[in-house]
Structure 1
Amino acid sequence: MADTTVKISAETRDRLQALATARGTSIRGLVDQLAAEAETQQLLGRATESFRAAIARPGFAEAFDRDFGGTPARTAPRAA
């Protein structure tokens, strides 16, 4: 993969370096991690929107309960 240069302020570079050090990685590694995390959050956001749209449809919850037996009974005590 070819390298590229991104211009950022010295303050931002220092902040990224501090974050990278805390994670035990380089700025390059940190930026890779942050990009992957942002992509994952974007995908989760889309999945959440799709799920909310699905359960808002009339009859969806009833069909789910009918086809999959409803939600399981909670057998373990709640932590809080």
Structure 2
Amino acid sequence: MVEVVYFAWVRERIGLPRERVETRAATVSELVAELIGREERYAAAFADLSALRVALDQELSDFAAPLAGVREVAFFPPMTGG
């Protein structure tokens, strides 16, 4: 079980700020594939992975990263300066 957190337009497309997900995924990419397979709203949110960043337990990571021991996965658009 992993806590998945969505920020900004990712949250808007999925319609949830966070959810607990039962997963067999070994990597972030596999988790994304599982989520996309759930419903169209996930497919819309994850349609362009180049427009997304991921953090594992609040540490910036990448989509090839393993999920073993991870408690929280957060998806968000790249940060902009200002």
Structures share a fold, TM > 0.5? Answer: no
Q: Indicate the structure with greater helix content.
A: 1
The structure with the largest alpha-carbon Rg is: 1
Higher relative contact order (CA 8 A, sep 6+): 2
The TM tier, using the shorter chain, reads under 0.3
Q: How does the TM-score come out when normalised to structure 2? A: 0.22
Q: How does the TM-score come out when normalised to structure 1? A: 0.22
